Structure 1
Amino acid sequence: MRDAFAASSAPVSRGFLSMSRRHPQNAAVRLGARSLVIVGMLAVSATFASMHKAVTIDYDGRVETVGAYGHTVDELLASQGVDAGPDDLVQPGLDAVPSTGSLIVVRSAHDVEVEIDGEAKTVRTTAKTVGEFLATLGERGNGAVTSGSRSDPIGRDLLRVTTMKDVHISVDGAMQAITTSAESVGDVLAEAGITLAPLDETSVPQGAAAVDGMIVVVSRGGSDADTVTEVVPFDVTEVEDPSLPEGHRVVVQQGYVGEAVTSYAVKILDGQEVSRSVVAQRITQEAREEIVHVGTMTIADVVVDPGSARAVAKAKVADRGWGSDQFQCLDKLWQKESGWRVDAANPSSSAYGIPQALPGSKMASAGDDWRTNAATQIEWGLGYISGRYGTPCDAWAHSVSVGWY
C-alpha cells in the first residue's frame, strides 16, 4: 500500500511543479482555491460532529438510545422524526441543550373522556394511568375517589373522579368549612357530624352532588320549642411544615363538630319570634379541633450522582411523567426509610430494600434479582406508591402524618 500510494503521488507532485514553472500565477491561484475548499469541508465536518449526540429518548415508554443531530432537544427530536406538539410533555424542555448521554422524555397528549364531580368533559392530558391523571389535578386530586385503580390505563373506560372539595355549611347560626371527597350533600353532612331531624331542611337536596365551593344552609324545623339540640363548630389550626412541598396540605387530625342542648328564652310579638337569649346550655359532645399541616418546602431540582440508585429513581420518576417536586418527595421518603441502601433490612418487621417492602419478597413481582438490584426495587416501589397513594408527595405526606407509608 505504501508503494502504490508513493507511485500515485509522484505524478501529482510533478504536475504541481511543472505547472508552477510554466504558469506560476495560475498555479498559485488554483492552489489557493483548493485550500479554501479543504478548509470549508473541515469546518462543515466539525459543525456536524458537534451536532451529533448519542442520547436516550423515552417516547411514551418506548426507550431507545440513538445517534441524533442538533443543538437543542427540539432539533434532536426532529432528527428522529419526533414532532412534539404544544400539549406534549417534554423533559428537559425543547429549548434545552442536552449533552451526549442525556435522557429525553416525551409524553404525547391525548383526549380522554372523564366525569369529574358529576360533570362529564373531554380532557387533553399526557397521563397514561389513573394515578398520573390525578396528579395533574394538583390539590384537587389529593385523596380523590376514582372508579378505577390508580394503576389502570386511562382512556379504556369512562373515568369517574370525585375530588377533594371545600364545602361550607351554615347551621345553627355558624358557618362550618369542611374538606371532603364525599359525593353527595347528605354524605358531606354525615361526615361533618351534623344530624338532621325529620323536620330539618337543607338549601340543596341531600342527594345532589357535592362540588367545590358549595354553600349548604341547614334550616332547623319544628315548633317554637325553647330547648334545641345544636352543633358546636370545631376550630381549624394550620401548622407550617417545612418537610412538605410548598402549598401541600395534610389533615393530620380530622375535626368533628360537637353537640349541645341549649335552652332559650324566646320573645314573640304578633306570633313572630323577634329575639331569643340563652338560658342554659349543656355540652353533650365536645368538638374536636382539626389540625392541618401546610407545606413550606421550596421545590428545587435534586442533584444526584450518576449511576447511583437515586439517579436510577430520578429517571424512572421522569418516565412516569412526574416532575422534580415528586422526586424531591421520593428522595426524602426513601432516605428516611432505608437511606437508599439496597440491602436495608428491618429485623423487627422483615421490611427490606430501598422502598422497605413488607415483606421484601413482594418485590419478586418486579424481578428475580430483587434482593440485590436497585433498579428492580425502585420499579416495584414506584408501582406501590402509584397504586396506593397516587404520587410520591402524597406518600411522603402520609409518612409525615402517621410515621409510615
Structure 2
Amino acid sequence: MTRTPQTSPVPAADATASSETGTTRTRRRWPFVAAATVAAVAVAGGAVAFADARKTVTLDVDGDLRTVTSYSDSVDDLLSSQGVVVDDRDLVTPASGAALQDGADVVVRSGKELTVQVDGEQADAWVTALDADEALDTLTARGGDVRIVASRDGERASLPVDVDTDGPVAVVHDGTTDVVDGGEDVEAVLAEADVKLAGSDRVHVADAANPGVKKAVAQAVAAQEKQADKKAAEATAQTEQVAAEPAAEPQVAVVVQRVETKKVTTTKAVAHETKTKKSGDRYSDLDPKVVKKGKDGERTIVQQVTTVDGKVVKKSEVSDEVTTKPVTRVLVKGTKERPEPEPETPTYSGSTRSIGKQMAAERGWTGSEWTCLESLWTKESGWNASAANPSSGAYGIPQSLPGSKMASAGSDWQTNPATQIEWGLGYIADVYGTPCGAWGHSQSVNWY
C-alpha cells in the first residue's frame, strides 16, 4: 500500500472532518440568489438528504488512528478521499467494495515483504502485520523455526516492520542478553542495548519462545527482576516494604550474530620417497647403505574461513601448493654374493699319535677301533709325518700313494700331521669302513 499526500479537496456542502485531537469543520458557503419560495424549499430538502448521508467513522491505517466524518457511500470512496491507495497485497476491512456505515471501524494494513528463514532455508514472505511480534505469530502458526532477517547496509540494520511497540525486546548478542524497551526499528533497539554492528554481522528477529533464544531470554528476565527487587528494597528500606512489579517478558528477540571471514593458513608434511639402487660392488647380505638422506617437504594450504559467533560455517580453498619440495632418500643395495668361507681346520696339539687319537675319537673310533688304527699306522710309517717309501713313493703317516692325494685335505699335506691324518681317516672310512677293517686287510695282504 502507498500513501499519497492528501491535499485539501473542496468539500461538498455541509461536509465536515475530525481527528482524535480535535474537530475541524469547513463549511462551504452557498451564494444567496433571489428566488421563489419553491426554490428555498428545494434547498432545504437537499440539506436534509445531505445530513442523512454524513457518517462518522474511525480510520486505522497501519495503526495510525483518526476519526473521519465523510459523505462517502463505500469504503473505496472513503479511502480515496483520504488519499489512501491500496493494492492486492494490502488488507482492508470491511472489504474495500463494501458500503460505508456510520460508526464503522475501517482498518487498512499494508502488505510488507519480509526476508525470513524457515528451518534454515531463506525465503520471502508477505505479511500485513504491524510489527515483528505480530508477523512472527502469523508465520510460526504454519510451523517450523521462523526468523525474520534484517537487511544490512554498512553498519545499519533495518526491517520493513517495527520490532515490537507493545512491550520490551530481548537483544541477544556476544554471549549475553539485554532486555530493552520496545522500539519501532531495529536500529533503535540495538542502540538502546549499546550494540554496534560490523559490516558482515547478521541480525534477525525471533520469537522469544524460540528454542535457540528461550533460555537466554529467561535468564535475562530473571536478572532484570532481581535488579528491580534490589532497587525496590533500597528505595523502601526506611519505609514500608514494597515488592517490585514483575518484569514484563519480551515476546521477541533481536539476535545479533557476529560474522568474521578471514584467511587461515595451515601446513601439512609431504612425505619423501625412497629410491633403492643396486650395486655389484656391495655384498648382498649387507643392509642397504644410505647415500642420500631423505627429507619431508611441506604443503601450504590457504582457506577462506567464515565463522558465526566463533563457529565455522563455511570453508573455501584459496590455494594449495607445495612450498617445500621433499628430498628423495637414496639407498644402495648390494647384489654381490659373498664367497663360501674356508672350512676351519681344528687345532690339535701333542704327538702325532695323540693327534690321531683325538681325530679318530671325533669319528667315534675309540677302544678296539683306535687299537686297530694305531697298529695299522705304526706298521706303515711309525706315525712319522715325513716318512717316505723310496720304492713306491708312498708318503706320510697314512702312506698315501702318491702323497699328493692328501692335498684334498689341505695344501699343507706335506708337513701337517693333522692334514695327513684327516685324509687317512677319510680314506679308511671310504674303502674299509673302519680301522679294524683296514687293519685286517693289511694283515692279510700286507697293504691296505
Structure with more of its chain in helix, by fraction: 1
- Structures share fold, TM-score greater than 0.5: no
TM-score normalised by the chain length of structure 1: 0.28
Q: Which has the higher contact order (CA 8 A, sep 6+)?
A: 1
TM-score normalised by the chain length of structure 2: 0.26
Larger-Rg structure: 2
